[in-house]
Amino acid sequence: MNTQDVDVIIIGAGISGIGAARELAGTDRTMAILEARDDIGGTWNLFQYPGIRSDSDMATFGYRSRPWTGERSLATGDTILEYVHAAAEEAGVTSRIRFGQRAQRAEWSSESHTWTVTHEDVHTGETSTLTGRWLFMATGYYRYDEGFTPNWPSLPEFRGTVVHPQHWPEDLDVAGKRVVVIGSGATAVTLVPALADRGAHVSMLQRSPSYVASVPGKDETGMKLRKWLPPRLAGEANRWRNILRAMAIYEFSRRRPQAMRELLHRGAVKHLGPTFPVDEHFTPDYDPWDQRLCAAPDGDFFKAVRGDSAEVVTDTIERFTADGIDLGSGRHLAADVIVTATGLNVQFLGSMDLVVDGKTVDPAEHVSYRGMMLDGVPNMAFAIGYTNSSWTLRVDLVTEYFHRLLDRMDREGAVAVTPRYSGPRTGLRPLIDLAAGYIQRGAHLLPRQGPDGAWNVRQNYLRDRVLFRPGTEKDDQLEFTVPARETAGAAR
């Protein structure tokens, strides 16, 4: 067993893990990043399905410290992966990554004030350990090894190809094939035009509609700002422009849901024409932003559906047959390929076992502090982004706060910091409180959030700017442990 001591152990080299590493790169703190895959990028390295792109604007999805300079407002997966690689290289953190290392268990010792992480080499099966002062979890909240597929007893009867977007085969040729995409979320809305462009005839089969909004494919205003202003100033101006616009849309949706419904309905009619059954296929029962809106760059999804190569079918699955799907309406939907764009499986902390002084931690029994730490768990932080805005906006706030918290510990000679929650523990909502099916299925696995203050997750960037502002790391709800030899009290 090999052991190496570092100040911070980061689990995951996706956009959150690289963000945390970039934040600490300019300090004298040592760190190691454990990444189970053989490349950085997380989601953007894993997902390879046709058309994969961001569903948030890149002015806010990029790091604040490295403004996005591409033309696309919603960038393709490969360009995002290139961006994350460049961001890691720029900060000199690539050399800190240990690839092919899957973290299995993290154990905290209050005696030594350290975390010991047991990790496995995914290629050889060899197990090693790494000890660190802090543990930073950048693993997101879904399973990387499998996506969610409903239990369809008759699915084995289908004789064609079945694919989940999370595991797209490199050699799948859809040209001339009849492809049924089951689902109506962002992945399905992305797949339909991409598969149609590859020569497939695509049917998007949805049990119930989702809201789809056309957005500009190019960030014309951002491009102009970069011509007029210095790079850093242009990046900040473009970032705030998009932040405020997204927040305005979200707040309008929540406060005037009927008016937003009508706007989205008119947008669909504009793209699809007055005779298209918009009410049947694009008018959900829920209000806008009860679930994330699906974005279609330059209306590409609507263009595909309006043409001859794609259609939307709102129906239920009766059973799978050898050559397709029998629907509840009595229609038979022929298929050569079935794509189950049916969502993700939720997990927290990458399914890694978390142990504090010999006791296993169940995250669902703990309350999250600022949506980035767990009450009663020392020296452990995690990155969870926004569900109603760009993920990275919150990651930036979390990593900056984390940096300042480490600085405060150093100033005070503290060896540990532990959030302490004293509020009620009944009736608490999950950390991610979203109506999406994959969140509802996995809500029991997530930490709770408290009713107010630093224990409440607001999903509001402006309010979080106040919550995470410099100086807020001086909080009575944080217990700083200082060795007795340096200070009269062991803890404050």
How high is the pLDDT of residue 489?
42
As a dihedral over the C-alpha atoms of residue 39, residue 44, residue 48, residue 51, rounded to 10 degrees, the angle is -150
CATH of domain 161-342: 3.50.50.60
Residue 485: its pLDDT value, please?
60
Distance separating the N- and C-terminal Cα atoms of the chain: 36
φ/ψ of 468, rounded to 5, equals: -100, 10
CATH superfamily of 5-144+345-481: FAD/NAD(P)-binding domain (3.50.50.60)
Non-local CB neighbours of 41 within 8 Å, separated by 6+ positions:
13, 14, 15, 80, 81, 84, 85
* Mean pLDDT value across the chain: 92
Exposed e or buried b for every residue in 191-225, given b needs 16+ CB within 10 A? Answer: bbbbbbebebbbbbbbeebbbbbbeebebeebeeb
pLDDT at 96: 95
**pLDDT for the residue 376:** 97
pLDDT digits (tens, 9 = 90+) for 366-400: 999 999 999 999 999 999 988 888 999 999 999 99
What's this model's pTM, rounded to 2 decimal places? Answer: 0.92
Minimal CA–CA distance to 339: which of 318, 325, 319?
325
pLDDT by 10-residue block (mean), the chain, 492 residues: 75 96 94 96 92 91 91 91 96 96 96 96 96 96 81 95 94 96 94 97 95 90 86 88 91 93 95 94 90 90 95 97 97 97 86 95 95 97 89 95 96 96 90 72 86 90 93 93 63 45
Q: Identity (one letter) of the amino acid at 271?
A: H
Of 185, 183, 181, the closest CA to residue 203 belongs to: 181
Query: 104 with 353: CB under 8 angstroms?
Result: yes
Task: Report the pLDDT value the prediction gives residue 427, as an integer from 0 to 100.
Answer: 86
Q: What is the pLDDT of residue 490?
A: 43
Ranges for all domains in the chain classified under CATH 3.50.50.60: 5-144+345-481, 161-342
- pLDDT reported for residue 3: 47
Residues 430-461 have pLDDT tens digits of 888 766 666 777 778 889 999 989 999 988 89
pLDDT tens profile 273-283:
999 999 999 99
Q: Is there a contact between 449 and 368 (Cβ–Cβ < 8 Å)?
A: yes
Q: What percent of the chain has pLDDT over 90?
A: 75
Nearest alpha carbon to residue 256 among 214, 287, 290: 287
